[in-house]
Structures are given as structure tokens and as C-alpha cells.
Copies of this chain bind each other. A is one copy, B any other.
Amino acid sequence: MSKYWSEITKSVEPYVCGEQPKDKKYVKLNTNESPYPPSPKVIEAIKNAADEDLRLYPDPDCDKLRDVISKYYGLNKNQIFIGNGSDEVLAMSFLTFFNKDETIIFPDISYSFYPVYANLYNLNYKLAKLNEDFSIPFKEFLTENGGIVIPNPNAPTGRCLETKKIEEILKYNQNKVVIIDEAYVDFGGNSVVGLIKNYANLLVVQTLSKSRSLAGIRVGFALGQEELINGLNRIKNSFNSYTVDRVSNAAAIAAFEDQDYFEKCVSKVINTRETTVNKLEKMDFNIIPSKSNFIFISHAKYAAKELFIKLREKGVLVRYFNKDRIDNYLRVSIGSDEDMKFFIDKIKEIIDEIERS
């Protein structure tokens, strides 16, 4: 601790992101990236944006991108907020909607950035304990609170919460903002964007990092009624006017315009997920039903931590959380068919080696 740090700096517990390896080539199934490159039209758009106008600031309001997204979702342009990745959008949302003297609620097993944001802004929070099957205990959210955050599908479990239950939560909490984090929704989940017109307290957050293969360009967004979006803009414009650069803007627009490519990539990931799940089930793995681009798996006999370490040695990165209740699970991103064959082969090798030793 340094004497120069503020009290907040001293008290935060920073998020640790999945390893971005610099040493060697891995089959990288640890940060839920897409195995497929961005649309060729995105690549083209980036090259076209590489021009002399880069000397100028970008459009601080991302007007054209909001146009494209609003048409995609049948919303009004003023119901859209764009940020530098959905992490930034979430960080700003916590500050925009939650107050210190109240207690927000999110699931105990969930995106591990939520408690980090809460600590950053000195917010109280209560963890809603997932049911034994890792489903969301939605009744835990029908209680007095200062705001709610639920990822749907949940991460790292991949499980969905039914729209009907989300609607109950929205109804019960009409005076508090309910954030539904749909980072992974495109892989078969149930989006609640359709509920925005009926619920002024609903904020949906999405990203281009996963289903649109653009983790490298950092664009995320929030959808909600204008009142919520105006709040986000107040905070954003008190922090950084130009959060999304010219190139990312152009890339994001092109990604939303190439719907065919998006659908193809998503359906390939879903197919690969189902094939992988079938294979793992035959190998004595328990797999939480997933509607996302990752699976959360636990072996009947062998410890997740051991599998994690051995996979790494064999060139496969997956994510392991050394945390109560989930410390015997691995979160495995869905790669290409080839990636997953490599992963399954290595898992088989490891199990063979353990059984022979």
C-alpha cells in the first residue's frame, strides 16, 4: 500500500482476467472468445477506417452505430448506450443506478467482476445463493434491495433464467434498476430486450466480444428506456467523452450489418457445444446445461484443479475458479470443432495417465 493511494485504491480488490498467454501457442478455451474471425466485412470496414480522419475525435455519441443497433432490436436510438466493452458499460451502470446506503443483489456464483465494481464504488451487496443445480434462485430477488444484476445466461454456469421469472423480478422491483447482463445470450439464450417497452427499470447489457468475434475491438452496449440511457450518458460524460474510437465504431457497425455471418458463426458454436457435451457425458463429466459459448463441467472422479493444470501442460487453457462451491468445475470455452477435438483428446490422455499411475 502506498501513501499516495486514495482510500478507495487501498480497498479495491481488482478483477483478474483470464490469462492472455504470451509464452507459447495454446488451444485457448479460457476467455470465451469466438473461435471464428470477425466477418470479412468487418475487416474491410477497419481497413477503410484507417484513413486521415483518425486525426479527428470520433463521434462521442456513436450515432451511426446506435442507428444500426436500434434497427436490429426495433428500439429507438435514444434507448441505446455504447461503451468501451460491456465491462465498461457495467462499471458505469453500477455507478449510474446504485446508491451507497442500499444493498444490491447478484448471484453468488456469477461474473466475478460484479463484486469488484461494488467494491470500487463502495456499494453494499448481498449474494443470492444459486440452487444446488446452479439455477438462479429468483425468489431471492423478490425482496427489498438497491438494485439487481443477473447475467442471463449466467457465467460461469451457462444456465438461463426463464423470461417469465425475470418479469416477476422486474415487477416486484419497479423502483429499482434490474440489470440483465446478456453477454452470452446469442448462443441460444432468451433475451429480454422485448420487455424494455414495458419495464422502465430494465437495463439489458450486451457485447460484441463473443457472438460477433470482436473481443479485440472493445464494444459493448446497454439497452433500456431513455431515462436509464440518459443517466448512463451523464456518468459517461463525466468520465470520458470519447470512449469508442473511430475504428471500433466502424467495425461494430459492419458486424451488425453482416447478419448472415453472425448467424453462421453462432450456429457453428452451438453445434460444436452440443457435440462436445455428448462426448464429455460419455466420459463421466457432469455438464451444467449451457446456452452460452462455454460449458461448466465437473468430472465424477478427477479433481478439476488437477485437470486444469495438466491441460495447461498439454497446451490447452481453460478457466478454473478456486472458489467455494465451484472449485471442482472447469469452464471451457467452445472453440472450433478442431479445438474441441484436441481438448477431448487431451482430457482422454490425462485421464488415461491418471488411471495408469
Q: Does A53 contact B (CB under 8 A)?
A: yes
Chain B: CB-nearest residue to A59: B20
Is A50 a contact of B50 with CB atoms below 8 Å? yes
Is A242 a contact of B17 with CB atoms below 8 Å? yes
A238 to chain B, nearest CB (A): 4
Tell which of B2, B217, B228, B239 touches A88, judged by Cβ atoms closer than 8 Å.
B239
Give the distance in Å from the alpha carbon of A53 to the alpha carbon of B49 in the complex. 18
Contact with B along A215-256 (1 / 0, CB 8 A): 111100000000110110111111111111111100100000
The answer to whether residues A56 and B36 also contact, given A47-B50, A234-B9 and a CB cut-off of 8 A, is no
Q: Does A57 contact B (CB under 8 A)?
A: yes
Is A4 a contact of B84 with CB atoms below 8 Å? no
Give the distance in Å from the alpha carbon of A216 to the alpha carbon of B33 in the complex. 26
The answer to whether residues A238 and B97 also contact, given A84-B243, A227-B2 and a CB cut-off of 8 A, is no
Contact with B along A1-25 (1 / 0, CB 8 A): 0111111110011111100101000
Give the distance in Å from the alpha carbon of A229 to the alpha carbon of B68 in the complex. 39
- CB contacts (< 8 Å) of A88 on chain B: these are 239-240, 243
Q: Does A51 contact B (CB under 8 A)?
A: yes
The answer to whether residues A20 and B57 also contact, given A2-B231, A4-B231, A6-B95 and a CB cut-off of 8 A, is yes
Chain A residues 49-92 with CB under 8 Å of chain B are 49-60, 63, 84-85, 87-88, 91
A292 to chain B, nearest CB (A): 16
Is A46 a contact of B4 with CB atoms below 8 Å? no
Q: Does A198 contact B (CB under 8 A)?
A: no
Is A237 a contact of B56 with CB atoms below 8 Å? no
Q: Does A42 contact B (CB under 8 A)?
A: yes
Chain B: CB-nearest residue to A239: B91
Chain B: CB-nearest residue to A86: B240
Tell which of B55, B91, B251 touches A34, judged by Cβ atoms closer than 8 Å.
B55
- CB contacts (< 8 Å) of A15 on chain B: these are 237-238, 241
Give the distance in Å from the alpha carbon of A7 to the alpha carbon of B9 in the complex. 21
Is A5 a contact of B97 with CB atoms below 8 Å? yes
Q: Does A322 contact B (CB under 8 A)?
A: no
Q: Does A37 contact B (CB under 8 A)?
A: yes
The answer to whether residues A54 and B37 also contact, given A200-B4, A218-B242 and a CB cut-off of 8 A, is yes
Chain A residues 20-49 with CB under 8 Å of chain B are 20, 22, 28, 31, 33-38, 42-43, 46-47, 49
Q: Does A213 contact B (CB under 8 A)?
A: yes
Give the distance in Å from the alpha carbon of A84 to the alpha carbon of B91 in the complex. 15
- CB contacts (< 8 Å) of A91 on chain B: these are 239-240
A48 to chain B, nearest CB (A): 10
Q: Known pairs A9-B234, A58-B216. 8 more at Cβ < 8 A?
A: A4-B176, A4-B231, A6-B96, A14-B236, A34-B55, A43-B51, A47-B47, A53-B216
Chain A interface (Cβ < 8 Å from any Cβ of B): 2-9, 12-17, 20, 22, 28, 31, 33-38, 42-43, 46-47, 49-60, 63, 84-85, 87-88, 91, 95-100, 116-117, 119-120, 175-177, 200-201, 209, 213-218, 227-228, 230-231, 233-248, 251
